[in-house]
Structure 1
């Protein structure tokens, strides 16, 4: 097996930039050919968007906007380019609907499975769901791309899962991180020895202790980061130093509630532009938090790396009966050139909610910001001034310290 899935994985920085300058304007033009996406993008000169820096000037598109478009114009909201096609329609919670295609590696999962060493001769027991949601098809498509056979096991029926794995000799598992342990433990109870040597997991947290347990059982377990809308976004290689961004997407890390990229290394919301011509989502906000890792992976893949999933960016919190949203905190920061960042803290004082607004600034008088706090957050709060760079780098702009026990 070749070390890499394709030569895109090892492109130089110059070639990657040149390819982006060629592909990005064409992708934006495709999005403009979908009436629903065109409305969300607004007036954009596609030919002028040839870099990630230029891309950052475009509006962010949120899942709630896609759902609203589909509700107004069912079933797909005008989100598919004119003349586009699809073989599947999936339903995700919301509900919101996504298309799928049977063309080669449409969700780009093959790159991840190849990095894990899955290929011809392997039989993948695919324990992702095939019912309504696309996860099962996403991983099956990836398995076909690397030449592996698939047992479309889906979820549940653990005794039958064990029986099939033993009878067929499945060599690889695909599914959520914890369900593999359920299968392995049940196999031991049934007196069966399974042949799994690799596990491709996603859709949940892979805790280090669980990865170590699989390693003790002779199973190499790597994880990917994928969504129903976008397919594979990033994946681990055997180097296990962060997650490598897939070569079919552009990832930005932005301040939650905005489309403004954070400084390198800071935690922020993951915003993704896909280069998939059939469903050209531009600057789609995932609602997840992550951060960029410096440098390249020791495995030789040259694309940007992220730390992986670090929580949710939607930190909307009700304080004193009023919702405070990340975009309001961003608006507060934008009103003052000297303010670097701000953080809203909700806590209890006696039997009352208290809102504290910490502001990174070199100013010394909190009263300078009290009016802006009231106007942007619609609540009065205690303003605390803190030195620039002192707020935690955790992606939070709203922190709820209240106990609900």
Structure 2
């Protein structure tokens, strides 16, 4: 398969020189002096989401960061605001879709959301970059999703890893045979059993590691040996709780410097854990690779494609005087994420808390009431019980 562009096959020296030049062109906008070498990047401070949120509260909407050419404004949980552009491959998602074999003649059934958060637009922008058409499907109304996919002839699915299974099972129930042969997934862990389910149905499924703030960070190719770093970012792995890089192969927190001239972020902490893999991909792309998503450096957890943060759990507790403590538990039933909210309270009616859970955590979950003192005294407010083996 051809590569998206010549950047993908640069030598290490060529890539370092190109990224250093791009970074030095952006640093003065941050009030920083140019660097002599990329290794000096590790001396700059890390920017964490909590700090970005505080900056944005003080100087809305983007915290006084050097932002240009804003066409869209997005809001992610926190809240944190992100800009969006419509120029060619603004979030660099086209590189990933090209690696999946998406191009002209394809119709991308885009099941990422278009409401407030940028995921839908991120994948739409990438699909346009490779010449594909888009059905802006979002989520929900599964029967209508199947009807549209069948009538229009959608060939590519884009969405969270587990939602395609819901669509395929509904298509089976309705007796419809869909033309979807590739799946571009993100927003949650792609479990091996789920990927095998798609493979057994003739669907090639690859994942991309992307965020609302940064766009494409790293992506799978057909080799499926780790995730290849995108050409428009510089990725570091640091020891959790610090800003110092760890040796290659050691698990640490993913820190990303975005070279997007419209929204440059320097040493932005994702809160995700990963590790650098040795060598390069057999597919011929020469950039370094990360092992993939290996959990969170903090308690923030992604459930059903949405982040749940400790501060959101605190907001839930604060809404009800009778709640002593609460804990969110992420688990799985079959191939679907589930969320249970354990609440210490003397109340006996779980329905009392359903609206508050939806308002603070942005999704529905099973409510489990416990007597005061029942939760372990370990400081946890979010617990991930899913297995990633």
Identify whether the pair has TM-score above 0.5, normalized to the shorter chain.
yes
In structure 1, the residue matched to 2:166 is 182
1:226: Cα distance to partner? 0.2
In structure 2, the residue matched to 1:58 is 44
Give the Cα separation in 2 of the matches to 1:297 and 1:404: 31
| Secondary structure at 2:266 match in 1 | coil
Q: Deviations over 1:31-83 (max 9, x none)?
A: 33xxxxxxxxxxx32x2x143311000000001111101111122221234xx
Check if 1:17 corresponds to 2:1: no
- Structure 1 residues 221, 258: CA separation in 2 closer, same or farther (over 3 Å shift)? same
Matching residue within 175, 180, 187 for 1:191: 175
**Contact 2:19/2:234 (CA < 8 Å) preserved in 1?**
no
Equivalent positions of 1:381-400 (< 5 A) are none
**Contact 1:30/1:277 (CA < 8 Å) preserved in 2?**
no
Greater C-alpha radius of gyration: 1
Give the Cα separation in 2 of the matches to 1:404 and 1:303: 32
Equivalent positions of 1:2-401 (< 5 A) are 3-32=2-31, 44-45=32-33, 47=34, 49-81=35-67, 84-314=68-298
| Secondary structure at 2:207 match in 1 | strand
Q: Which segments of structure 1 move beyond 3 Å, counting only runs of 4 or more?
A: none
TM-score (norm 1): 0.73
- Count how many residue pairs are aligned between Structure 1 and Structure 2: 306
**Contact 1:198/1:219 (CA < 8 Å) preserved in 2?**
yes
Give the Cα separation in 2 of the matches to 1:156 and 1:315: 28
| Secondary structure at 2:113 match in 1 | coil
| Secondary structure at 1:167 match in 2 | helix
Unaligned 5+ residue runs, structure 2? 301-377
| Secondary structure at 2:78 match in 1 | coil
**Contact 1:128/1:136 (CA < 8 Å) preserved in 2?**
yes
**Contact 1:30/1:280 (CA < 8 Å) preserved in 2?**
no
Give the Cα separation in 2 of the matches to 1:30 and 1:154: 36
Unaligned 5+ residue runs, structure 1? 33-43, 317-397
CA RMSD of aligned residues (A): 1.9
Q: Deviations over 1:106-154 (max 9, x none)?
A: 0000000000000000000000000000000000000000000000001
1:263: Cα distance to partner? 1.1
TM-score (norm 2): 0.76
1:201: Cα distance to partner? 0.1
In structure 2, the residue matched to 1:36 is none
1:404: Cα distance to partner? 12
1:399: Cα distance to partner? 11
1:13: Cα distance to partner? 1.3
Q: Deviations over 1:233-281 (max 9, x none)?
A: 0000000000000000000000011110001100000000000001110
**Contact 1:116/1:238 (CA < 8 Å) preserved in 2?**
yes
- Structure 1 residues 284, 404: CA separation in 2 closer, same or farther (over 3 Å shift)? closer
Give the Cα separation in 2 of the matches to 1:125 and 1:77: 34
Q: Deviations over 1:71-112 (max 9, x none)?
A: 11122221234xx22000000000110000011100000000
